[in-house]
Amino acid sequence: MTMEILTAAALNGITHGFFTRCGGASSGVFEGLNCGPGSSDQSDIVEINRARVADAMNVAPSELIGVHQVHSADVVKVTGPHRGGVPKADALVTATPGLALSVLTADCQPVLFADRKAGVVGAAHAGWKGAIAGVLEATLDAMEDLGAERADISAIVGPTISQQNYEVGEEFLEDFLAEDPDNARFFANGNGGRYHFDLPGFGLHRLRQAGVGHAEWTRYCTYGDPALFYSYRRSVHRQEADYGRLIAAIRL
């Protein structure tokens, strides 16, 4: 199966992609393009998959750069391949051509950023913890530190879990209402005292409130399309032993 890479017109002219699970070497529950070194997939197979992504991004495998994601608001400014280990963070920015910034997801939001005029790009992993902690705003701040203008930045939310498939409990709702009562708008009533949370809607709201020039969601749901995407929540519901990780990448 050939690779299937989703792109956004708002990032035309910038090499980028939200990679689906198609076109990889993994098998079993990981079947396809599993790019997660933290999974229990065979490490050599994951490296083959990541090399295919690097080739699609026209960089060497060492120039496909990620971070050790921990659901934080921390951002790394990248000028070359990491030295001395992979830093713990959830976003990366660079003004250095030829480096592909990447994040891994399996329901959380992968967000790619670009300011063409300034020549600055970024990538963020924004699950609910990172989003409420401010990882998207922190990425914009870091891009500005490299010369970007907030009003010139386009931010694209890639495949993530949709509201209809993201059921949460009352405690989850209360955390968001404590942060801002207006966050109630991102919740819909479910069954049995449960709620449905609009993660991409929340991410877009945070980006727009922060003054980004353009923000949109690709409108693909990871949970709802097992042929194209891995999903942590779907794997739990199916009682599978593990799950694959999708990769999103961008480079100047």
Each residue of 195-240: pLDDT tens digit?
A: 999 999 999 999 999 999 999 999 999 999 999 999 999 999 999 9
3-class DSSP assignment, residue 164: helix
Asked if residue 67 has pLDDT above 90, the reply is: yes
Cα–Cα distance list, 91 to 66, 166, 177, 189 (Å): 8, 23, 25, 32
What is the mean predicted confidence (pLDDT) over 69-95?
96
Average pLDDT over residues 78-107: 96
CA atoms within 13 A on the CB side of 92: 29
pLDDT at 175: 94
What the block records as the tokens of 237 is 């519901």
Q: Which parts of 14-136 are beta strand (E)?
A: 15-19, 64-65, 75-77, 91-94, 100-105, 109-115, 120-126
Phi-psi category of residue 170: left, alpha or beta, with phi > 0 → left and psi -120 to 50 → alpha: alpha
Domains of the chain: 5-161+218-251 (3.60.140.10)
pLDDT at 1: 75
Task: Give me the numbers of helices (H) and strands (E) for the chain, helices first please.
Answer: 6, 14
Report CA-CA distances (Å) from 165 to 24, 152, 218, 222, 241: 26, 33, 16, 9, 20
At 165, is the pLDDT very low, low, confident or very high (cuts 50, 70, 90)? very high
pLDDT in tens, 20-57: 999 999 999 999 999 999 999 999 999 999 999 999 99
The pLDDT value recorded for residue 84 is 86
C-alpha span between 92 and 192 (Å, rounded): 40
Q: Which helix (H) or strand (E) holds 156?
A: strand 154-157
Alpha-helical regions (H) of the chain: 43-56, 128-133, 135-145, 170-179, 199-209, 232-237
